[in-house]
Chain A
Amino acid sequence: MVIVVGWLVRPTLNVKPWVEQRPVKDIDGDGALRLPTIKVGLGVFLTVATSLFALLISAYHMRMMAADWVTLALPRVLWLNTAVLILAGVAMQWTRSAAQWGQIDNVRLGLIAAGVLTFSFLAGQLWAWQQLNASGYFVRNDPATAFFYLLTALHGLHLLGGMWVWGRTTAKVLRGVEVAKVRLSVELCAVYWHYLLLVWLVLFAVLLHTHT
């Protein structure tokens, strides 16, 4: 973190601010990242989300070492869900390239496909919860189950947040706005989807690793 901020002040690191003298045109945008603000915003948010998931996973690992840990059997449907989420990521990537090439029809198709796949993933996750519940596990039963619900729920909530942006973008595309106006949104969606796919793969690996 200090490194990041250090990098930001890098251009002015050795400058004495009270004698700093440069033409305004050189100062313009000093230190600011030459990226769209919304992208910087997403970057900061993903950093925060990463720290959240990383810390949860480490808390999970440490809790697991306690003697009262009981493992639970993961529902098989999670494998299917994983495949669906990967497909959703692929669809998003495809949409992104379509947006770059300006193919509005493909953008429309890709967005809808990605949305449907993502909803299927979320439904599949709910189904997994249902299965766990049916087989007698309940949130309060033991820490392993509690962590499973917690991790999947948080991941799902992040996806739902993404779906909100997806919904707005898709609505725009369906209304027929030109492709340039949604290019940035599509790109942000794609980055976000890839990120959440990555998070899910890590989470799934962690859960699998400790349940076999």
Chain B
Amino acid sequence: MVLAGVLVLLVVGSVLFHYLSPWYFTPIASNWDTIDETVTITFWVTGFVFVVINLFMAYCVLRYRHRKGKPAHYEPENKKLEGALVLATTLGVIAMLAPGLFAWAKFIDVPKDAPVVEVVGRQWNFNYRFPGADGALGTVDARFISAENPFGMNPDDPKGQDDILISSPELHLPVNKPVKVELRSIDVLHDFTVPQFRAKMNMVPGLVTYLWFTPTRTGDFDVYCMQLCGIAHFAMRGKVVVDEEPAFKAWQSSHPTFAQTRTQVAGDAAAGKPLYAVCTACHGAQAEGNPALNAPKLSGQADWYLRRQLKNFKLGARGTHDKDVFGKMMAPMAATLADDAAINNVVAYIKTLPDTPAPPTVTGNAKKGHDAFETCGACHGADGQGTWATNAPRLKGMSDWYLVTQLKNFKEGIRGAHAKDMYGPQMGFMAAILDAQETNDLAAYIDTLR
């Protein structure tokens, strides 16, 4: 009695949940309506079976419950009935499978005229590459990967010289134009998913996989990695911005070609020296940092990291949050550097300064910090020396009090939450798991790494 009622309630509840709950597919933003339609067909077929069988079962439980003197009917089998049910099931399966196979045929058949964009996955970020004017991507090889050539471009391939390199997790695409997305990974398995596009494909080291779609409306969309790729899997996010054609062109042309990244001269330390004079007041003549003025140690920090942060300050991606008091002080200073060349020069000068470890100032339980550092080490390196490949700056021997402040800023969204801060959000995810005490413990442990 109760069981039959509960079964009916569960069936009714499930159907109501399906129709009334606010949780379902996000509004589609690509041409893959066929996929949504197949899902709808599948819902009708399976929903019908679900309701009918379960209600019939509830009926049986109620109608044929044990009553004295009412024995069960004896019937070993019924070939006709079983045959009819098999036939009906087969028809239902065909009703779902046929449209599915047609949709899949379309999904893997890329329009001939679709332009290509490449997505490069790495722990734990997305980068992108457009073919240049020649419409063809240059060849790549893992052997060429370095800090100067993060995409592993073959320097001798003429086709690659005009490729446009997007060294950030944000990709822009023009609306209503089909696009073929070629997917490549340079370390482990990753995945490229935009829920609103309904499209998804893994990225496999050693292979180029692909998918295609036509964005049908403008807007910002999240990119997720949906293939487990290590500790920061959940923080591997990107963004697709679908623009009108002119805005897309403008965005695309603001990025350098491979040839341009190669001609960027290395910074000139001599030219950087006078520029550094401004910095001396706070960061010290040897860039050793000054806790009293809230200026961290710079010497010994990775050049690519210093360059990125200076650009962030210039762009307003950092030092613009209301609560970021000291960041706000840095922002106008960064603005004094006129262009990328100036940034390169000043960073080159900092690189010449002696790297003496900053004195420890934070007290905490280094032993506990050691355990917590397990996670940090995945990106920042087991000894905290920093890893270019994971965009993680050096931690050891740097100002520990600064580390504590920044972890707090990341956690509270004061740093890293700005839309233009490409790598900040990832650190935000990680900092969120630490409380104040753990932060101190971590800093204390990092102080022991020298």
- Which residues of A line the B interface, CB within 8 A? 16, 18, 66
User: B83 at the A/B interface (Cβ < 8 Å)?
Assistant: no
- Chain B residues 65 to 97 lying within 8 A of chain A, measured CB to CB, are 76-77
- From residue A16, how far is it (CB to closest CB) to chain B in Å? 7
Across the two chains, which residue of chain B brings its CB closest to A19? B76
For the complex, give the distance between the alpha carbons of A66 and B205 in Å.
Answer: 12
- From residue B189, how far is it (CB to closest CB) to chain A in Å? 16
For the complex, give the distance between the alpha carbons of A66 and B77 in Å.
Answer: 54
- From residue A183, how far is it (CB to closest CB) to chain B in Å? 47
Which residues of B lie under 8 Å from residue A16 when comparing CB positions?
76-77
The contact string, 1 if C-beta is below 8 Å from chain A, for chain B 151-185, is 00000000000000000000000000000000000
Which residues of B lie under 8 Å from residue A66 when comparing CB positions?
206
For the complex, give the distance between the alpha carbons of A16 and B76 in Å.
Answer: 9
- From residue B150, how far is it (CB to closest CB) to chain A in Å? 22
- From residue A175, how far is it (CB to closest CB) to chain B in Å? 57
For the complex, give the distance between the alpha carbons of A16 and B206 in Å.
Answer: 56
Tell me the interface secondary structure of chain B in the complex. loop
For the complex, give the distance between the alpha carbons of A18 and B76 in Å.
Answer: 7
For the complex, give the distance between the alpha carbons of A66 and B204 in Å.
Answer: 14
For the complex, give the distance between the alpha carbons of A18 and B75 in Å.
Answer: 10
- Chain B residues 43 to 77 lying within 8 A of chain A, measured CB to CB, are 76-77
Across the two chains, which residue of chain A brings its CB closest to B74? A18
- From residue A52, how far is it (CB to closest CB) to chain B in Å? 27
- Chain B residues 204 to 258 lying within 8 A of chain A, measured CB to CB, are 206
The contact string, 1 if C-beta is below 8 Å from chain A, for chain B 177-209, is 000000000000000000000000000001000
Across the two chains, which residue of chain B brings its CB closest to A16? B76
For the complex, give the distance between the alpha carbons of A16 and B77 in Å.
Answer: 10
For the complex, give the distance between the alpha carbons of A18 and B206 in Å.
Answer: 59
List 4 A-B pairs, Cβ < 8 Å. Answer: A16-B76, A16-B77, A18-B76, A66-B206
For the complex, give the distance between the alpha carbons of A186 and B206 in Å.
Answer: 52
- From residue B313, how far is it (CB to closest CB) to chain A in Å? 43
Which residues of B lie under 8 Å from residue A18 when comparing CB positions?
76
For the complex, give the distance between the alpha carbons of A116 and B214 in Å.
Answer: 72
Which residues of A lie under 8 Å from residue B206 when comparing CB positions?
66
- From residue A15, how far is it (CB to closest CB) to chain B in Å? 12
Across the two chains, which residue of chain B brings its CB closest to A68? B206
Q: Which 3 A-B pairs have the closest CB atoms?
A: A18-B76, A16-B76, A66-B206
Across the two chains, which residue of chain B brings its CB closest to A18? B76
Which residues of A lie under 8 Å from residue B76 when comparing CB positions?
16, 18
- From residue A169, how far is it (CB to closest CB) to chain B in Å? 50
- From residue A5, how far is it (CB to closest CB) to chain B in Å? 20
- From residue B62, how far is it (CB to closest CB) to chain A in Å? 28
Across the two chains, which residue of chain B brings its CB closest to A67? B206
For the complex, give the distance between the alpha carbons of A16 and B79 in Å.
Answer: 12
- From residue B111, how far is it (CB to closest CB) to chain A in Å? 32
- From residue B141, how far is it (CB to closest CB) to chain A in Å? 11
For the complex, give the distance between the alpha carbons of A107 and B12 in Å.
Answer: 76
For the complex, give the distance between the alpha carbons of A18 and B77 in Å.
Answer: 10
- From residue B447, how far is it (CB to closest CB) to chain A in Å? 35
Across the two chains, which residue of chain A brings its CB closest to B77? A16
- Chain B residues 293 to 333 lying within 8 A of chain A, measured CB to CB, are none
Which residues of A lie under 8 Å from residue B77 when comparing CB positions?
16
Across the two chains, which residue of chain A brings its CB closest to B76? A18
Across the two chains, which residue of chain B brings its CB closest to A66? B206
- From residue A210, how far is it (CB to closest CB) to chain B in Å? 21
- From residue A124, how far is it (CB to closest CB) to chain B in Å? 38
For the complex, give the distance between the alpha carbons of A18 and B74 in Å.
Answer: 11
- From residue A66, how far is it (CB to closest CB) to chain B in Å? 8
For the complex, give the distance between the alpha carbons of A82 and B77 in Å.
Answer: 59
- From residue A155, how far is it (CB to closest CB) to chain B in Å? 31
- From residue A97, how far is it (CB to closest CB) to chain B in Å? 53
For the complex, give the distance between the alpha carbons of A66 and B317 in Å.
Answer: 44
- From residue A13, how far is it (CB to closest CB) to chain B in Å? 15
